[in-house]
């Protein structure tokens, strides 16, 4: 395993290396073509259609649809999950207008963003190692997820080839690097979390093959699985981990990502209610239900600026069935949200600093006009303003004013899906064939 220093004393493992072709990162792209992407990485998935055109194969247009995954499919069978996904993808294609119809004999091509740990043996195949983020489908573990999706597409009668398999961070990095050469890393902060960065190939001890012509490779860090005695874990974190579907795994993810922040708040509130009767003599029954308080609820309460904290009161009533909370109780809830969010954001910032240190970009070098861009995607970063604000201010705090001026955190909306479509284009079966 490749071990990468993270913020001095922390060490990340289970990293994966991916070939990074000649700049631009994709090699050749086909102009005037349609490519698709399926982005599966949490409780929702996206299907995208990207139209490329022009001499440089630039993005002409893009459209997407977002679909929620029913809870029972997250713990069902592989066929059930992939059949559901393939059916939604088929609906998306069926709604296309005549301008998106391919020439006779041409097969649609798809980039598959699959944001779970896989052992990837080629650009279009990968064996699932384990599930994370609330998924637990036993018969899929050890299977090639591209083959599983392909069979589901065939059952739907959809003629579509999976040209590239990537995870969301690699897709986001590819999409960001495609349009901006200063992008050196990508971070996902959503339901789960991960990071990837561009590394010099000769600095990768685990790589034993031929060096790529570009001299660079992409490292998928799988940093959600990082754990260390230096992490500030509390009794709430230990209990959450022990009761999760994957005890002892994805520890870093469980304290900084969107799936778990609201649950941490619920657990602390429940303890306070038990010990000091925060919401009356009895603990509200709903407060004892795991994951009833989701991170979007937490975010809404954290951002409440009304004088009486009405939003907080409404959430407590509607979600936890606490009808008559006092202003003092509501203020405590906001304070707790702030503490949990700040811890997560500051730890995420420490992880980003670790990448910058590995790349030698954490210091200011005289005479260099260096610009470093981190492509960041994910619903947690995009929608939880207090979290993202704390993340960015912590990076500035850790780097210092002079260095932080050269570091840019760039929101890469739909970056992983677009990157997957572009990588599908660069690995198309029709490369070198004249367009009709």
- For residue range 18-58, list pLDDT tens digits in order: 444 434 444 444 444 889 999 998 788 989 888 877 556 57
Is residue 147 exposed (0-12), middle (13-18) or buried (19+ Cβ within 10 Å)? middle
Helix axes 385-399, 295-302, angle to 10 degrees: 80
Report the mean per-residue pLDDT for the chain.
Answer: 87
3-state secondary structure of 125: strand
Active site residue 168: yes
Active site residue 115: yes
Rounded Cα–Cα distance for residues 222 and 111 (Å): 20
Is residue 39 exposed (0-12), middle (13-18) or buried (19+ Cβ within 10 Å)? buried
Catalytic residue, from 33, 46, 267, 346: name it.
46
Query: Domain locations in the chain?
Result: 15-180+415-427
Report the percentage of the chain scoring pLDDT > 70: 90
Q: What is the pLDDT of residues 144-172, one digit of tens each?
A: 999 999 999 999 999 999 999 998 899 89
**Whole-prediction pTM:** 0.82
More confident: 219 or 105: 219
373 - beta bridge partners?
Answer: 183, 408
User: Which pLDDT band holds residue 217 (cuts at 50, 70, 90)?
Assistant: confident
Tokens of 354: 């670790």
Of 19-33, 62-76, 208-222, 266-280, the least confident: 19-33
The three-state DSSP-derived secondary structure of 169-196 is HHHHHHHHHHHCCCEEEEEEECCCEEEE
What is the model's pLDDT at position 54? 59
Catalytic residue, from 115, 244, 257, 426: name it.
115
Catalytic residue, from 168, 241, 377, 414: name it.
168
In the 8-state DSSP scheme, what is residue 102? P
Q: What number is the average pLDDT over the span 73-82?
A: 96
User: Which pLDDT band holds residue 179 (cuts at 50, 70, 90)?
Assistant: confident
Tokens of 353: 């600093």
Q: What is the pLDDT of residues 364-420, one digit of tens each?
A: 776 677 899 999 998 999 999 999 999 999 999 999 988 999 999 999 877 788 888
* Cα four-point dihedral sign 189, 46, 59, 150: positive
What is the model's pLDDT at position 343? 98
User: Which pLDDT band holds residue 433 (cuts at 50, 70, 90)?
Assistant: low
User: Which pLDDT band holds residue 60 (cuts at 50, 70, 90)?
Assistant: confident
Rounded Cα–Cα distance for residues 271 and 410 (Å): 38
**Cβ–Cβ under 8 Å, residues 160 and 109:** yes
Domain 15-180+415-427 is classified in which CATH homologous superfamily? Answer: ATPase, nucleotide binding domain (3.30.420.40)
Rounded Cα–Cα distance for residues 430 and 307 (Å): 61
Tokens of 72: 């029972």
Active site residue 304: no
Question: Biggest alpha carbon distance in the chain?
Answer: 75
**E strand or H helix at 51, and its extent?**
strand 44-53
């Amino acid at each position: 395993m490749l071990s990468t220093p993270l913020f001095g004393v922390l060490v990340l493992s289970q990293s994966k290396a991916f070939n990074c072709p000649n700049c631009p990162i994709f090699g050749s792209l086909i102009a005037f073509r349609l490519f698709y992407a399926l982005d599966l990485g949490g409780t929702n998935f996206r299907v995208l259609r990207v139209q490329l055109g022009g001499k440089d194969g630039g993005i002409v247009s893009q459209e997407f649809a977002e679909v929620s995954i029913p809870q029972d499919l997250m713990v069902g069978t592989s066929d059930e999950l992939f059949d559901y996904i393939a059916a939604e993808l088929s609906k998306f294609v069926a709604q296309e207008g005549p301008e998106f119809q391919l020439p006779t004999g041409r097969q649609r091509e798809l980039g598959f963003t699959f944001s779970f740990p896989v052992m990837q043996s080629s650009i279009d195949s990968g064996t699932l190692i384990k599930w994370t983020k609330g998924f637990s489908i036993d018969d899929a573990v050890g299977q090639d997820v591209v083959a599983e999706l392909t069979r589901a597409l065939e059952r739907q009668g959809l003629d579509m080839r999976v040209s590239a398999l990537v995870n969301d961070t690699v897709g986001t990095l590819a999409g960001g690097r495609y349009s901006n050469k200063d992008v050196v890393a990508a971070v996902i902060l959503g339901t789960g979390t991960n990071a990837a960065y561009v590394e010099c190939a000769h600095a990768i001890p685990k790589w034993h093959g031929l060096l790529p012509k570009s001299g660079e490779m992409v490292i998928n860090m799988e940093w959600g699985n990082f754990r260390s005695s230096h992490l500030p874990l509390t009794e709430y974190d230990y209990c959450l981990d022990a009761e999760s579907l994957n005890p002892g795994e994805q520890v870093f993810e469980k304290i900084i990502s969107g799936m778990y922040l609201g649950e941490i708040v619920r657990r602390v509130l429940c303890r306070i209610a038990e010990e000091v009767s925060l919401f009356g003599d009895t603990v509200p029954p709903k407060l004892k239900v795991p994951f009833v308080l989701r991170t979007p609820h937490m975010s809404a309460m954290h951002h409440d600026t009304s004088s009486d904290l009405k939003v907080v009161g409404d959430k407590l009533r509607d979600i936890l069935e606490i009808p008559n909370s006092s202003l003092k109780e509501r203020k405590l809830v906001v304070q707790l949200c702030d503490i949990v969010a700040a811890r997560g954001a500051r730890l995420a910032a420490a992880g980003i600093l670790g990448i910058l240190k590995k790349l030698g970009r954490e210091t200011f070098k005289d005479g260099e006009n260096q610009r470093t861009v981190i492509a960041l995607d994910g619903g947690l970063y995009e929608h939880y303003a207090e979290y993202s604000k704390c993340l960015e201010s912590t990076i500035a705090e850790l780097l210092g004013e002079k260095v932080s001026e050269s570091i840019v955190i760039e929101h890469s909306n739909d970056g992983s899906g677009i990157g997957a479509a572009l990588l599908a284009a660069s690995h198309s079966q029709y490369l070198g064939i004249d367009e009709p």
